[in-house]
Amino acid sequence: MNKIFGFLKLIRIKNLLIIALLQILIKYTLINIYLENYQLDNLLFFIYLITLLFVVAGGYIINDIFDVNTDQINKKNIINNIISIKNAKNSYVIMNFLTIIGTTILVIKTNNIISIFIFLFFIISLYKYSQVFKKQFLIGNIQVAFLTAFSIFNLILLDLLNENNQNDYSKKTIVKIILIYTLFSFITTLVREIIKDIEDIEGDKKIKARTIPIVLGMIHSKRIVTILLTITIVGLMLIQYFQYSFILSDFEIEISIWGLNKISFIYVTILQLLLFLFLFYLNKSKYKKDFYFLSQLLKALMLVAILSIPVFSYFHLKC
């Protein structure tokens, strides 16, 4: 039983569930509701989803394999304590094998070879990140943020790109909405990676990694996080400006636009308050436990953002 829980921790089961939730919500409370034609039916979407989870789980495993020495210093290692490095390597091979099987099925069923390039890109990028880029200044952080955001963008490439919809305007609108969530995911993931680097600074120093906190120091790292979240806040303010303007407008005909209603405005306000709360605690943070708390707070904030998709869709359809 201990090994089972250890394995679930190794593949970051909580993170995988969040990834799965986001994919499911975009698919079933956005794409399938507003578009008549899409590439992935229920079975194909399930195959796509588990393939994505397999490749991400493999990425977490190989990351911990390369990070054995660092994790021993930071006192959070699973490999060699609960799971042997041999079993970890075997698990990594199995995850990639299952990814290849899932990709093959997708290519055969959809006649879309782009799946090969997408998942091959994930396998290679996650391996190179763990082997080389994680220890390099800024590159590793950007790579993780990009891959996380790209996992959302996948749905545009695999589910929408080759499909002709009767209402092309709806398709373009859905693509724009997904791109907004993709950008939000990129920025918040980049912030979380920097926060995690601050949290793990002692272990990273001993392996001579060149992370942002080591190269620039904690103060400048916190400033970078503040700038990134300020950009996010300004972006959300622009969205709220359109929401508020739409709510106050006096239309001669009844019209409803996704995300532009009172409930959505209140929801984005709550998201803004969480961002300000994060910045408040960031300013006060000094110790490892403080940055661990910030990392968990940011994860909660990302979950709130994800749940906005069904909320916005529900109240849009209700209007």
Average pLDDT over every residue of 282-300: 94
- In the chain, the amino acid numbered 127 is Y
Domain count, the chain: 1
Are residues 211 and 197 in contact, defined by beta-carbon separation less than 8 angstroms?
Answer: yes
User: Which phi and psi (to 5°) does residue 141 adopt?
Assistant: -60, -45
> What's the pLDDT band for 59 if we cut at 50, 70, 90?
very high
Average pLDDT over every residue of 58-86: 79
Q: Say which range, 2-16, 86-100, 139-153, 295-309, has the weakest mean pLDDT.
A: 2-16
| Letter string b/e over residues 89-99, b meaning 16 or more CB atoms within 10 A of that residue's CB | eebbeebbebb
pLDDT in the model for residue 160: 84
Give the chain's mean pLDDT.
90
Over 50: is that where the pLDDT of 92 sits? yes
Most confident of the following: 117-126, 197-206, 250-259: 117-126
Output the DSSP codes for 126-177. HHHHHHTGGGSTTHHHHHHHHHHHHHHHHHIIIIITTPPPS-HHHHHHHHHH
CB atoms inside a 10 Å sphere around CB 17: 11
Two structure tokens written together for 217: 């120091």
Over 70: is that where the pLDDT of 284 sits? yes
- In the chain, the amino acid numbered 85 is I
What are the tens digits of pLDDT across the range 39-52? 999 999 999 999 99
Distance, in Å, from the CA atom of 49 to the CA atom of 2, rounded to the nearest integer, reads 27
User: Helix, strand or coil for residue 224?
Assistant: helix
Average pLDDT over every residue of 116-141: 94
pLDDT in the model for residue 254: 47
Cα 76-79-84 angle, rounded to 5 deg: 155
Full residue range of the structural domain in which residue 186 is found: 2-318
pLDDT in the model for residue 172: 86
pTM of this structure? 0.91
What are the tens digits of pLDDT across the range 229-249? 999 999 999 999 988 888 887
pLDDT in the model for residue 75: 53
Residue whose structure tokens are 């995850």? 95
pLDDT in the model for residue 244: 87
Q: What sign results for the dihedral spanned by CA atoms 287, 290, 296, 299?
A: negative
Q: Which residues, including other chains, have CB under 8 Å from residue 78's CB and lie 6 or more apart?
A: 6, 9, 10, 64, 71
Q: Say which range, 9-18, 30-39, 143-152, 298-307, has the weakest mean pLDDT.
A: 30-39
Question: Between 22 and 136, where is the model more confident?
Answer: 22
Question: Between 319 and 53, where is the model more confident?
Answer: 53
